[in-house]
Amino acid sequence: MERTIVITGGTSGIGLALARHHSERGDHVVAVGSSQTGGRRLRAQAPRARFVQADLSSVARTTELTERLTADHPTIDALVMAAFRYNPARVLTSEGFEHTFALYVLNRWLMASGLRPSLDRAAAPVIVNLCGVGQGGRIHWDDLQLERRYRALDATRQGARAAELLGAGYRSERIRYVLHNPVFVDTGLHEPFRQPVRGLVRVAAALFAQPVGRAVPPITAHIDRPPAAPLTAWRKARPLTLAIDAQEAARLDDRLRTLTSPILTPPTLTPPTLTPPTLTPPTPA
Ligand SMILES: NC(=O)c1ccc[n+]([C@@H]2O[C@H](COP(=O)([O-])OP(=O)(O)OC[C@H]3O[C@@H](n4cnc5c(N)ncnc54)[C@H](OP(=O)(O)O)[C@@H]3O)[C@@H](O)[C@H]2O)c1
């Protein structure tokens, strides 16, 4: 039976390799990316997949996307979240969020909740969050947007820890939540850097990173045979034990609600109070 698989970041790297694999196998793949260049790459390598262009760093655009996908696909079997960008310097989105936080945390929280109704209708639904699970990052509770001191690695590690908490906070009877760290995969990791770091990362990737094709089978295994447990974590094909504090997961959920509520539920306009005009009695002639 044809399954529907939504892949954010399905136009490059690991996401594209998954899009190609599953569309060649006869699944209906919907790949989301922000650029037309990515869309062309997808059409060339996975012509049966559907391309949807959306800026996933935007809360408003992500919400529009989940509404559109829910309308187009009443049943979704798998959601793979692979959209990511490494930001060497601090970048703000048009909605005022730090970009890594917007794409790695807010977007993944919104995608998983927005597509929940369609996932709930599938026979064996699964969410695969591709992330740096097990890296030991922390949430900067007093400075989530890293305004005081931005370091790209801190932003990335905070996103990885947030992914663990999003998984722990996602309570569903039926939908399996899988945190998967593909580890070091050669997907053009040098591109965001300037020389000389660019050259060093390129050499390190050539020497030590896995080719993209090798990262695909363990991820596909989660999609084909979702694990029995509601939440699992993996480093390549090996299961990981996670230490997650349920209270911290609830705290993140609360903060994300607060941060997004002005965008998701704009304040209703209170009609101005109308003061009836005071009628001055006509002056007798
Ligand atoms: N590669 C590794 O070594 C490694 C290690 C650990 C974890 N991971 C995780 O694995 C996942 C995939 O990594 P990768 O290396 O394959 O990534 P990649 O090759 O850099 O691809 C990133 C994808 O995200 C999309 N994207 C970026 N910004 C977007 C936006 N604002 N809106 C919509 N789409 C956007 C890109 O498309 P556009 O450019 O068209 O927007 C592209 O399709 C990521 O979640 C990453 O954290 C990777």
Question: Does any domain span residue 110?
Answer: yes
Q: What is the pLDDT of residue 103?
A: 98
pLDDT tens figures, 92-138: 999 999 999 999 999 999 999 999 999 999 999 999 999 999 988 99
How far away, in angstroms, is 33 Cα from ligand 1 center? 9
What confidence tier does 207 reach under pLDDT thresholds 50, 70, 90? confident
Which atom of ligand 1 is closest in space to residue 35's alpha carbon?
A: 40
Q: Please tell me the predicted confidence (pLDDT) of residue 204.
A: 86
**Residue 273 Cα, ligand 1 centroid: separation in angstroms?**
50
SS3 assignment, position 241: coil
Which of 84, 127, 166 is the pocket-test mutation for ligand 1 (most atoms within 8 Å of CB)? Answer: 84
- Tell me how far the alpha carbon of residue 9 lies from the centroid of ligand 1, in angstroms: 5
Domain contains 276: no
For residue 36, give the ligand 1 atom closest to its CA: 40
**Which pLDDT band, with edges at 50, 70 and 90, does 1 fall under?**
confident
Give the per-residue pLDDT at 278.
Answer: 55
Higher-scoring residue by pLDDT: 279, 91: 91
Which atom of ligand 1 is least distant from the CA of 129?
Answer: 45
Residue with the larger pLDDT of the pair 84 and 265: 84
Model pLDDT for residues 237-280, shown as the tens digit of each residue:
999 999 888 999 999 999 999 999 999 986 666 655 555 555 55
Within a domain: residue 176?
Answer: yes
- Residue pLDDT, tens place only, 136-190: 899 999 999 999 999 999 999 999 999 999 999 998 999 999 999 999 999 988 8
Q: How many domains does the chain have?
A: 1
- What is the mean predicted confidence (pLDDT) over 181-203? 89
CATH number of the domain residue 144 falls in: 3.40.50.720
Q: Is 95 domain-assigned?
A: yes
What is the model's pLDDT at position 193?
86
Residue whose CB lies within 8 A of the most ligand 1 atoms, among 20, 40, 79, 85, for a mutation test: 85
Q: Is residue 159 part of a domain?
A: yes
Residue 202 lies in a domain: no
Instruction: Tell me how far apart the alpha carbons of residues 82 and 21 are, in angstroms, rounded to a whole number.
Output: 15
Specify the pLDDT at position 202.
Answer: 87
Its domain, for residue 111, covers: 4-186+213-262
Specify the pLDDT at position 259. 97
- Angstrom CA distances, 1 to 32, 121, 178, 235, 260, stand at 23, 15, 23, 29, 38
Q: In the prediction, which pLDDT does 12 show? A: 98
- Residues touching ligand 1 (Cβ under 6 Å) are 9, 11-15, 32-35, 38, 55-57, 82-85, 103, 130-132, 181-185, 187-189
What is the distance in A from the centroid of ligand 1 to the CA of 120? Answer: 26
Asked whether residue 43 is domain-assigned, the answer is yes
CA 257/CA 253 separation, integer angstroms: 6
Q: b/e string for 118-142 if b means 16 or more Cβ within 10 A?
A: bbeebeebbbbbbbbbbbebebbee
Q: Is residue 279 part of a domain?
A: no
Question: Measuring from atom 5 of ligand 1, which residue has the nearest CA?
Answer: 183
Taking the C-alpha atoms of residue 4 and residue 28, their distance in angstroms, rounded to an integer, is 5
Dist. CA 82–CA 216, nearest whole Å: 12
